[in-house]
Chains A and B, each alone.
Chain A
Amino acid sequence: MSVGAPAAAEIPDSVVRHRLSGEDAIRWTLVAVFAAALYLFLLFPLGHVLWRSLLDNSGRFIGAANYVHYFSTPAIAASITNSLFVSAAAMVLTVALAFGYAYALTRTQMPAKGVFRVAAMLPLFAPSLVQAFALIYVFGNNGIVTRATGLNVGIYGAKGIILAEVFYCFPHALLILVAALAATDARLYDAARTLGAGPLKTFFTVTLPGVKYGMVSACFVVFTLAITDFGAPKAIGGKFSVMATEIYNQVSGQQNFTMGATVSVVLLVPAVLAFIVDRLVQRRQYALVTSSSKPLVPERRPLADWSLVGYCALVAGFILAIYLVILVSSLVHRWPYNFGLTLKHYEFDTAGGYRSLWNSIRVAALTAVAGTALAFGGGYVVEKCKTAASGPLYLLSVLPVSVPGMVLGLAYIFTFNAPGSPLNALYGTLAILIISNVIHYFTVGFLTATTALRQMDAEFENVGASLGVPFYRTFWRVTVPIALPSIVAISMYFFLNAMVTLSAVVFIIAPGTELAAVAVLLMDDAGDTAQAAAMSVLIIATGLAVRMVYWLAMRGITARTQAWTRRVAPEGGKTA
Chain B
Amino acid sequence: MSAAVPAQAAVALEGIAKKFGAYVALREITLSVSAGEFICFLGPSGCGKTTLLRIIAGLERQNAGTVRMSGRDVSGLPPALRNYGIVFQSYALFPNLTVGRNVAYGLETRRAGAPAITRRVDELLELVGLARHKDKYPAQLSGGEQQRVALARALAPSPALLLLDEPLSALDARVRQSLRHEIRGLQRRLGVTTIMVTHDQEEALAMADRIVVMNAGQVEQVGGPTEVYRRPRTPFVARFVGQMNFLAAVAGARSGWARVGAVELRHQAGFEAVPGGALTLAIRPEEITVGPAALHGDNRLTARIAAVQFLGAFTRLGLAVDGDGGTALECDVAATAFAELGVGEGADLPIALVPDALRAFPAPGPAA
| Contact assessment for A4 and B1 in the assembled complex, using a CB-CB cutoff below 8 Å | yes
| Contact assessment for A1 and B222 in the assembled complex, using a CB-CB cutoff below 8 Å | yes
Q: Say which residue of A6, A19, A23, A562 sits within 8 Å of B17 (CB atoms).
A: A6
User: Which chain A positions have C-beta within 8 A of B154?
Assistant: 466-467
Q: Is B290 an interface residue (CB 8 A)?
A: no
Interface Cβ pair total, 8 Å cutoff: 144
CB distance from B331 to the nearest CB of A (A): 34
| Contact assessment for B94 and A460 in the assembled complex, using a CB-CB cutoff below 8 Å | yes
Known: A16-B62, A468-B106. 13 other contacts (CB 8 A): A2-B28, A3-B3, A5-B27, A15-B63, A16-B63, A16-B76, A24-B78, A465-B78, A466-B57, A466-B80, A467-B85, A477-B94, A564-B138
User: Which chain B positions have C-beta within 8 A of A24?
Assistant: 78
Contact with B along A450-470 (1 / 0, CB 8 A): 000000010110111111111
| Contact assessment for B92 and A467 in the assembled complex, using a CB-CB cutoff below 8 Å | no
Q: Is B77 an interface residue (CB 8 A)?
A: yes
| Contact assessment for A463 and B78 in the assembled complex, using a CB-CB cutoff below 8 Å | no
Q: Say which residue of B2, B79, B139 sits within 8 Å of A462 (CB atoms).
A: B79
Q: Is B84 an interface residue (CB 8 A)?
A: yes
Q: Chain B at the A interface: mostly helix, strand, loop or mixed?
A: loop
Chain B residues 108 to 129 lying within 8 A of chain A, measured CB to CB, are 108-110
9 shortest interchain CB distances as A-B pairs: A467-B106, A459-B92, A564-B137, A15-B61, A465-B79, A481-B96, A11-B17, A459-B88, A457-B92
CA A503 – CA B57 in complex, angstroms? 52
CA A464 – CA B107 in complex, angstroms? 11
CA A477 – CA B97 in complex, angstroms? 9
Tell me the nearest residue of chain B to A478, going by C-beta: B94
| Contact assessment for A463 and B19 in the assembled complex, using a CB-CB cutoff below 8 Å | no
CB distance from B37 to the nearest CB of A (A): 16
Q: Is A12 an interface residue (CB 8 A)?
A: yes
Q: Is A522 an interface residue (CB 8 A)?
A: no
> Which of A12, A466, A481 has the most chain B CB atoms inside 10 A of its CB?
A466
CA A562 – CA B139 in complex, angstroms? 11
| Contact assessment for B92 and A460 in the assembled complex, using a CB-CB cutoff below 8 Å | yes
CA A15 – CA B25 in complex, angstroms? 13
Q: Is B75 an interface residue (CB 8 A)?
A: yes
Chain B residues 1 to 41 lying within 8 A of chain A, measured CB to CB, are 1-3, 17-19, 22, 24, 27-31
A3-B30, A467-B85, A477-B97 as given contacts; A18 in contact with B61, CB under 8 Å:
yes
CA A468 – CA B111 in complex, angstroms? 12
Tell me the nearest residue of chain A to B82, going by C-beta: A466
Q: Say which residue of B22, B64, B86, B108 sits within 8 Å of A463 (CB atoms).
A: B86
CB distance from B135 to the nearest CB of A (A): 11
CA A477 – CA B106 in complex, angstroms? 12
CA A489 – CA B64 in complex, angstroms? 46
CA A481 – CA B98 in complex, angstroms? 13
Q: Is B160 an interface residue (CB 8 A)?
A: no
Tell me the nearest residue of chain A to B32, going by C-beta: A1
Q: Is B219 an interface residue (CB 8 A)?
A: yes
